[in-house]
Amino acid sequence: MAALEISPEVFDAPRGWKQSIHEYLAGYGLQCHKATALQGGNSAYVWRIEGLQAIDGASFAKFMNPANELLILKYGEGQLKSGALQMPPARMQWEVRAMTSSVVARACAQEPAVEVPRVITSTKEAVIMSWAGDRDLLSTYSQDCTLDAAYVGASLGRWLAGMHLTSIDDAEIKDWTNATATMVEEMERGNMAHKLAASGEFSQQEVNQASTAHQTITGVRALTAWDFRPMNTLLRDGDNPKRPRITVVDWEVSCYTDPAFDVRLWVAEAMVLEAKYGADRGLLKSFLTAYRRTAGVRIVTKEFVYKVAVLVGALWMLLMPATIWNCTEADREPWMRKAKDYIRAGITADRAWLLKSSLAPLL
């Protein structure tokens, strides 16, 4: 299976559209002064919206900020921009549901350094939300050495653990499933099993163990953003130039599942960042330390850490080489080796090996 890629191309509108973004808005009684297309990942289309208002001047006016704030419109397309993978077009409603949930509100109240976009309104396929800036942690870490990376990591670790803890058995959350998450999990797990078997380094029993570890809930279920990663962490200037305001975006795959899925993607991406741009700034260590201390043994058991190790390896096997991480074909083999090492440590419960790895702060 080929590695998944994030399309860097910016589209003015979905390829299947026969209308402009202005015509789309007009269909819902809205108009704007300006709509600027932005890079929206592999399945969503995103515009920065300026001067949004109701055409009739009434139905939408109550949502608007008198200061005429910048907004974001995110539209969910039914197919990836590259490849034939089908996506539920109504998945933006999952995004709205999560960002407006009481669980997320409580997590942000507990950790004021972190917030989520404010939902303005939504349609079946799109959500309009507050502007969260145009700097993401992925690119900022590589370009701005003045960033207090340890502060960002610790803030996010506390916030994530708080959201996970407060959502356990929450009546609002505990029946939330997400077809997109299920589909990607199955694809990721199948890709891992295929590549482990093809490597000749894992017996069929070990391949089966890895697949079982990938899909077994290690303890509790919680609300997960699921696509939680530095790339989906936006930064804006705050009172301290080294300590920006932090906004977590991209909730369309959110669901009630093992919190290890949130930890695994953030860790996998942060490890690549630190390998390329320096690990001495404390981004990953502070994140994992804060997460463990806040989540405690209710979530972070040895079994949880072993599963995270397997999931991190599976992610690298799916995504490498990834241009979003500035990785090339030459990087593939070292990361594939690392992926197999983490998977093996996870399925053999090799705590001694993991204590020497980047996951050590979780143990």
CATH among 3.30.980.10, 3.40.50.450, 3.90.1200.10, 3.40.50.1700 for 21-362: 3.90.1200.10
What pLDDT score does 179 carry?
87
Per-residue pLDDT at 3 exceeds 50? no
3-state class (DSSP) for residue 354: helix
pLDDT digits (tens, 9 = 90+) for 138-148: 999 999 999 99
Indicate the pLDDT class of residue 2, thresholds 50, 70 and 90. Answer: very low
State mean pLDDT over 210-221. Answer: 95
Q: Amino acid letter at 70?
A: L
Kindly report the backbone phi and psi dihedral angles of residue 238, in degrees, each rounded to the nearest multiple of 5, phi listed first. Answer: -120, -165
Give per-residue pLDDT as tens, 316-358.
Answer: 999 998 888 989 999 999 999 999 999 999 999 999 999 999 9
CA angle 213, 254, 220 (to 5 degrees): 45
Confidence of residue 10 (pLDDT cuts 50, 70, 90): confident
Q: Is the dihedral of CA 289, 241, 113, 130 positive or negative?
A: negative
- Helix residue ranges, H only, 320-354: 329-347, 351-354
pLDDT reading at 65 higher than 80: no
CA-to-CA dists, residue 71 to 25, 158, 213, 285, 324, angstroms: 13, 28, 41, 34, 25
d(CA 323, CA 318): 13
* Residue 101 vs residue 134, higher pLDDT: 101
Mean pLDDT of the chain: 90
- Which tens digit of pLDDT belongs to each residue from 148-176? 999 999 999 999 999 999 999 999 999 99
- Give the pLDDT confidence score for residue 53 in this predicted structure: 85
Residue 16, φ and ψ in degrees, nearest 5: -85, -5
**Nearest in space to 357 (alpha carbons), one of 245, 267, 296:** 267
CA 164/CA 294 separation, integer angstroms: 10
Q: How far apart are CA 226 and CA 264, in angstroms?
A: 9
